[in-house]
């Protein structure tokens, strides 16, 4: 489906791929469009909803500046999916044991490994980059307790919130492993640190912003360069975190399932990140806050909620969206509202066919708290083609 509405209340238009947008998210899009360094326009995906400063589900091209809060604190958050060579009927009838085994070997929530769970060479490579960032910004270390041990032991861990590990079945009954996670505590620390720094920089020059969370760094300044270095490191960390977590999940499965191979159809993509790209005649910084890149022929992952379908998609390279698409269903209510409205029985009913937690700790992730994934997909047929439709049978939440 093409662009459904255009907002013309700022320096550039906002092209929106949905007619279902809450007032607070609408205002955030207006605020962003007033920033003087936006290139061409802003694209809002079908799952767009209110975020901090910038909407989740938006694609923001900037020239000469970057807004740290638009990238957010879960820097490099994204998806990893792999198709296995086994079928649904080769899974055990009772999937509780598989879920328990994965939860035992892959720390979730605030938990972390008690030892270094990834190869030493990977740790050394990441350590060199982070040490350089810490040397320039020693106060960054104070954002975490035992920062050096923490970032290492959180590699190959899930985290909490909407992060998950799933076993899914596609339309051919092929088994997939899919997971969603980011840069963990160290990415959060980097995000918070530079968001606060951008605010202070704006206060010094008495910049009048439509929202204090749209504070930015100008290209060429030391803080801009340091942020680019730090956010790039966090994005690498997030990619490695997903890769290493997938390795641990596959190790669990190989010990408990019939012999299988991993197919070549594997995807590891960010959906909270910034990258330098060329669009509409200019090289710009593209911030995708809750959106994935969907260049022509490029594979991506659009997950639904705990009880809904997910999709493997192929990008169409639509320039109006800056070659992007949605990153999921998108929330329709806050976590606190979901906890007020729903109970454990509601969760059990809405996830009846999924082996997952069904207690109060994950009520805020209940499917009803999210938009209808089918409608979200219908609104972006101009952006992607569906390659596989997945339905989860196991879902592990933090």
**327: annotated active-site residue:** yes
**Distance in angstroms (rounded) separating the CA atoms of residues 355 and 214:** 41
Q: Please give the DSSP secondary-structure letter assigned to residue 109.
A: T
Catalytic residue among 39, 41, 327, 388: 327
Residues 6+ apart with CB under 8 A from 177: 81, 82, 84, 165, 166, 167, 168, 246, 249, 250, 253
Assigned token pair, 236? 């690498």
Decide if 293 contacts 269 (C-beta within 8 A). Answer: yes
Q: How many CB atoms lie within 10 A of CB 183?
A: 32
Annotated binding site for GMP: 162-166, 271-272, 303-306, 310, 327-330, 397
Decide if 329 contacts 370 (C-beta within 8 A). Answer: yes
Residues 6+ apart with CB under 8 A from 207: 215
Annotated binding site for Mn(2+): 74, 163, 180, 271
Each as own residue / partner, the long-range contacts of residues 170-173 (CB below 8 Å, 24 or more positions apart, any chain) are 170/83, 170/312, 170/388, 170/389, 170/390, 171/388, 171/389, 173/87, 173/88, 173/89
Q: Among 161, 162, 151, 76, which residue's Cα sits nearest to residue 117?
A: 151
Annotated binding site: 74, 162-166, 180, 271-272, 303-306, 310, 327-330, 397
**Distance in angstroms (rounded) separating the CA atoms of residues 35 and 8:** 13
Q: Which residues are catalytic?
A: 327
């Amino acid at each position: 489906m093409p662009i459904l509405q255009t907002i013309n209340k700022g320096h550039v238009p906002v092209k929106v791929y949905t007619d279902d947008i809450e007032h607070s998210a609408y205002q955030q899009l207006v605020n962003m469009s007033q920033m003087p360094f936006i290139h061409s326009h802003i694209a809002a995906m079908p799952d767009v909803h209110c975020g901090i400063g910038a909407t989740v589900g938006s694609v923001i091209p900037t020239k000469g500046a970057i807004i740290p809060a638009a990238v957010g604190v879960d820097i490099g958050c994204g998806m990893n999916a792999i198709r296995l060579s086994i079928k649904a009927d080769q899974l055990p009838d009772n999937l509780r044991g598989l879920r328990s085994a994965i939860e035992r070997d892959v720390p979730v929530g605030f938990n972390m490994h008690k030892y270094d769970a990834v190869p030493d060479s990977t740790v050394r490579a990441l350590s060199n980059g982070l040490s350089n960032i810490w040397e320039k910004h020693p106060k960054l270390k104070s954002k975490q307790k035992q920062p050096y041990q923490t970032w290492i032991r959180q590699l190959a861990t899930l985290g909490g919130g909407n992060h998950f590990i799933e076993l899914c079945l596609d339309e051919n009954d092929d088994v997939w492993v899919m997971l969603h996670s980011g840069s963990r505590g160290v990415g959060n620390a980097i995000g918070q640190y530079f968001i606060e720094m951008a605010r202070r920089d704006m206060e010094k020059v008495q910049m009048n912003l439509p929202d204090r969370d749209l504070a930015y760094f100008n290209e060429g300044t030391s803080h801009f360069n340091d942020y680019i270095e730090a956010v790039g490191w966090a994005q690498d960390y997030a990619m490695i975190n997903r890769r290493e977590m997938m390795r641990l999940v596959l190790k669990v499965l190989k010990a408990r399932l019939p012999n299988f191979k991993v197919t070549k159809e594997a995807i590891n993509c960010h959906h909270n990140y910034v990258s330098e790209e060329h669009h509409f005649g200019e090289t710009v910084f593209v911030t995708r806050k809750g959106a994935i890149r969907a260049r022509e022929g490029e594979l991506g992952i659009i997950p639904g909620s705990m009880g809904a379908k997910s999709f493997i998609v192929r990008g169409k390279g639509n320039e109006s969206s800056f070659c992007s698409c949605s990153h999921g269903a998108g929330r329709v209510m806050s976590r606190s509202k979901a906890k007020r409205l729903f109970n454990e029985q509601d969760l059990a009913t809405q996830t009846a066919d999924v082996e997952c937690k069904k207690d109060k700790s994950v009520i805020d992730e209940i499917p009803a708290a999210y938009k209808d994934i089918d409608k979200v997909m219908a609104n972006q047929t101009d952006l992607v083609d569906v390659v596989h439709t997945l339905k989860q049978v196991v879902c592990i939440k933090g």
